[in-house]
Structure 1
Amino acid sequence: MGLYKPFTANMDEGWTRWIFDNWEFPYSSLYNVDIQKGSLNKNYDVIVIANIQPESIINGHPEGTIPDKYAGGIGEKGIEALKEFVGEGGTLITLNKSCNFALDHFRLPVIDVADDYESSEFFCPSAILRVDIDLEHPIAYGMNNQADIMSYGSPLFRLMDENEIKNNDVLSLENITVIAGYTSENPFRSGRLIGETILRGKPVLIEARYGKGKIILFAFRPQNRAQTEGTFMLFLNSLYYTK
């Protein structure tokens, strides 16, 4: 298992690393150059990208602002290496904002519509929200049929319709399995939220099949600050959900 470690110090990566260390999961930190080398399937079944902005994943620190060996991100070489990794049977797990990296580069029929709304219509800076879970899916093993998740600044998924799929040259919906979605009634539990009705029924945890592999998209932080134990199981199960 590999955990992407950017040089743009990332707190969520640190908390994810703490969970792996505390629960004694064997893993390696993957730096930009490790991903850019390619042939990732030789050493890894699973690669995790914590809550990191896509821009930071790809471009990292600008050149000239930091010593050269720490500048940049995974770049185009890294993007192609990750596409090859998943296409050849690997599992890529993206958490919260890093999901948008996968949406941008893996031709998935999923859209993040969080920015389509004015803040007066939809705003979720920090809230506990309730989701329904498909207990037939292996990632849901050990869970109840509902759980509360921690969401702040998270993507808001919508599946494309057939016309959008044709016009955007993306994979078909046959490649998508929704594992969990916001409840159709009263998903808001606590915190601050504007636009509860917009959330209702939208996917929050997706399996996307790509080539021989898969991408697991968590539109929240299931391991938030190593505190959200109610959703740890979803995250930890996904680490074992490979071939």
Structure 2
Amino acid sequence: MNRPARQPTRRAARPRAIALLAAAPRFAASVAAAMLLHGCAYITAEAPVGEQPVHLATEDLAGAWHGDNVTVTFEPVNVAEGRYRALWTEDGQQKSLELLLRAHRPAPGSGGQPWRMWNVKVADFQASEGTAPDLDQANSTDGERHDHYYWGRFRLEGDRLIAWGPSASRLAPLVEAGALPGELVEDNVRLGTLTTEHLDIITGNDHGVLLDWEYPLVLYRIIHD
């Protein structure tokens, strides 16, 4: 008996923010480049998201991390400010991307959860892709502000690093309603300055999960220094 041909399974593309962090070309193109799921929408903030710098010990990020077809190492830039650098090799060239790590600890009774946030300046990401941004122009060719930040949440669990990006479709209604500051530019979300109360909304449960939990970037430590 002839069996019907098996249809290939299509994997949904990851949203842009996490494809950014995973893909500056490879790494930055392996923490934020799949943009198709939400129609190429981007989500940025005009300032780094999170109130306090994240201070990681050297051993927390030591060694080599692998995932999404890329191997990454990390080095501290300014621990007091929560600045770190991701490094990887692509086509024989050393690439790097600066990460600004921040934390938010919500007010008691707000319903929010303590979060660690990753932030990448838009201009730095564009430079890591090999595209020199025209800083004389406020916006990039994609309409993104050079001085704004891509952002998301991360967890460091021993030898596993997990990062998520925000969801444009879930944040947009909160911006439209005035619960979060910012503006909508077509399908894209530009957040304004976020206060503690705004961060409590983002990290809380009252409006559901505002990240793209379905599409994490996961790196595993494969070499210990």
TM > 0.5 = no
Please give the TM-score of this superposition, normalised by the length of structure 1: 0.26
Please give the TM-score of this superposition, normalised by the length of structure 2: 0.28
Q: Point out the structure with the larger helix share.
A: 1
